[in-house]
Amino acid sequence: MMKRNLLLSLFLMAVPKPPCIAQDWTALWKSYAAGFMDNQVRVIDHDSGDRTTSEGQAYAMFFALVANDRSRFDGLLHWTEINLASGDLTSHLPGWSWGKNPSNKWGVLDNNSASDADLWMAYALLEAGKMWNEPHYTWLGTALAKQIAAEEVTQIPGFGSVLLPGAKGFHNGDSYRLNASYLPLQILLGVAHELPDGAWQQIANKIPAVVSGSAPQGFVSDWTEFKPGKGFTPSAPGSYDAIRVYLWAGLLDPATPQREAILSALPGMARHLHNNAVPPAKVKPDGNVEDPKSPVGFSAALLPYLSALGEKNLEDEQMSRVKSEFNSKTGLYGNPARYYDQNLVLFGLGGTLRQFWFDSQGNLKLAWKGN
């Protein structure tokens, strides 16, 4: 028996192991931090002149919470508040872009805000306050949410409350420019649960209409225009923004109100994958594919969406693609590894591997908390 066990052990050691998909999600987070953050704890997009965006900082704060990495969370928060928010997140929304200007000086390149980053940041702070029992985070998240409500939320006549993509430039006369990827339902429900006196629930109630209006052929567009009395008109192909709409939809708890309405508005991507191995990088509003091959992050982002639709075979195919793009030397995905792909992979695999999830009210659940 002992000889048989020894032979079996030797055989198993000799069998080639499948490509690692960072089953230890925390290892992927550490590789991301090593590859895309400096010692100031700012997230660097190496493909865009080493710039930093409020989006990158906000997502990283969320991932740091998921990883129970409080020191990095604090570093990200500190850098963001000092460099993007004039030292005070309670009175200044973060400027969305920071980098080197034409005079070779580093600083804010565009002080307009990006509401999706602001929303994720407020949510991360509110949830961190609960997870780490830190009242300061709760206070700061509440103050930031109030800033968002004051500067980025508007009431569209005949439609209702919406979150505009930023504080400036998205409302011209009777036309409103919207972005469905800026409206993750679970995040708005979570903020509404913590701050019930705001307009968050009203905004959440309108998300299925925005998604549906942005996806007339089942593929969501990056941008859409809304005019009272005329409705929605998609104004751009669906691409790097739109891929997040499928991701957010897939990460919704099955009991979330309006989940089915959102998923039923997005059949195009699953339909495409029944006949194509790779998700498209760009799809026109009429449903015609403009660029058929997306980077690996798109496949990772679609994992929760395909799971939610019960498309197990398609999910397995996209997971295989994700596995094949793992670089064991860097611990990252893609060659070269790109900033945006890593964020989509962190979200997609994090949800698939149950490192985090959301309940039907948008409350965050974390593996390390055991909840």
> 284 and 290 in contact (C-beta within 8 Å)?
yes
Separation of CA 14 from chain center? 39
Strand-strand pairing, 332-333 and 326-327: antiparallel
Cis, peptide link before residue 234, omega less than 30° from 0: no
Q: DSSP E strands: which ranges in 197-312?
A: 224-227, 231-234, 282-283, 289-291
Residues 6+ apart with CB under 8 A from 54: 80, 84, 94, 95, 96, 97, 113, 114, 117, 118, 121
Buried-state track 85-123, b at ≥16 Cβ within 10 A, e below 16: beeebeebbbbbbbbeeeeeeeebbebebbbbbbbbbbb
Structure tokens at 305: 């969406």
> 282 and 290 in contact (C-beta within 8 Å)?
yes
Cα–Cα distance, 336 to 196 (Å, whole number): 44
Whether 50 is catalytic is no
Length of the chain: 371
SS3 223: coil
CA angle 354, 360, 361 (to 5 degrees): 115
| Positive or negative: CA dihedral 80, 201, 196, 364 | negative
Residue 184: name the closest of 251, 240, 90, 124 by CA. 251
Structure tokens at 240: 């790097």
CA angle 323, 326, 331 (to 5 degrees): 135
Residue tagged active-site, from 45, 55, 194, 225: 55
Whether 174 is catalytic is no
Residue tagged active-site, from 69, 81, 116, 194: 116
Residues noted as catalytic: 55, 116
